Amino acid sequence: MARTPLMAGNWKMHKDHLEAIQLVQQLVYHLDADDYQRTEIVVIPPFTALRSIQTLIDGDRLDIGLGAQNCHYEAAGAYTGEISPPMLAKLAVRYVVCGHSERRHVFGEDNETVNRKVRAVLAHGMRPILCVGETDEQREAGDAERIVGDQLQAGLEGVDDAQATEVVIAYEPVWAIGTGKTATPTDANDMCAFVRGGLAERFGEDVAQQIRVQYGGSVKPGNVAELMGRSDIDGALVGGASLTADDFAAICRYHRL
Ligand code: PEP
């Protein structure tokens, strides 16, 4: 079953709304109809830039999707400083990152919180990008599969078969994020295949074959083609290299590298 590759640029806490407009304009300058047809391309700016980029996408009829980096799981309420799923849906946000390792490790999000977010995102018609991944110590201790398997199953608790194909999983080994260290294509693919096996156990083989599993962790123009050549890697969640239009465009055009 052919899965459309998904290249998503997670800008983290970078770019104000004016810089964000400039980056998207530079990015689309490098892309053409063939790229959009082969690959789904998504930018994930900070909340403050969502409205400006939505307006740019609408006004110029750009063929790129919009994502958010996080959200609260409640639809509204006394949660000072939080952003709700319906607020994001109203901005035509298509994807919401749930459980990024920086949310888990810096902000203390546990599997239960991540799962509430995944379900809230689905309930409001958007697609979660559920991030899973082991730390260096966990890998060294031989615990990588157990940790990733637990994060996957807990993150998808209560998600039904019909919703499952809307979900994207991003396998992001924590030791490879923002460090310049990339998992070897074989290691990355093995873990993405392990994730797909977990999805098959949960939802059955047919559904698992439709779910996209991304790799994330120091993806750049120099390593993307080899990663994308593997059977179970369906795209990349890209941090640092998505902040430069040339680099992210090259990643989106990996088939030409
Ligand atoms: C990320 O933020 O999800 C990520 C993978 O970052 P980087 O590409 O910079 O390692």
Pocket test for ligand 1, best of 131, 169, 238, 242 (most atoms within 8 A of CB): 238
207 CA distance to ligand 1 middle (Å): 27
- What confidence tens digit (pLDDT) does each residue in 10-35 have? 999 999 999 999 999 999 999 999 99
**Residue 198 pLDDT:** 98
pTM for this model (two decimals): 0.97
Helix or strand holding residue 250 (H, E): helix 245-252
pLDDT digits (tens, 9 = 90+) for 131-157: 999 999 999 999 999 999 999 999 999
Which atom of ligand 1 approaches the CA of 177 most closely? 10
**Greatest Cα pair distance in the chain:** 51
**Taking a C-beta distance cutoff of 8 angstroms, is the pair 185, 226 a contact?**
yes
Asked if residue 216 lies in contact with residue 224, where contact means CB atoms within 8 angstroms, the answer is no
**pLDDT number for residue 49:** 98
pLDDT of residue 1: 62
Q: Give the strand pairing for 95-98 and 65-68.
A: parallel
Determine contact, residues 231/239, Cβ cutoff 8 Å. Answer: no
Can you give the pLDDT at residue 178?
Answer: 87
List average pLDDT for each run of 10 residues in the chain, which is 257 residues long: 93 98 98 96 98 98 98 98 98 98 97 98 98 96 97 98 97 92 93 98 97 97 97 98 98 93
Can you tell me which atom of ligand 1 is nearest the CA of 10? 2
| Gap between the Cα atoms of 218 and 4, Å rounded | 22
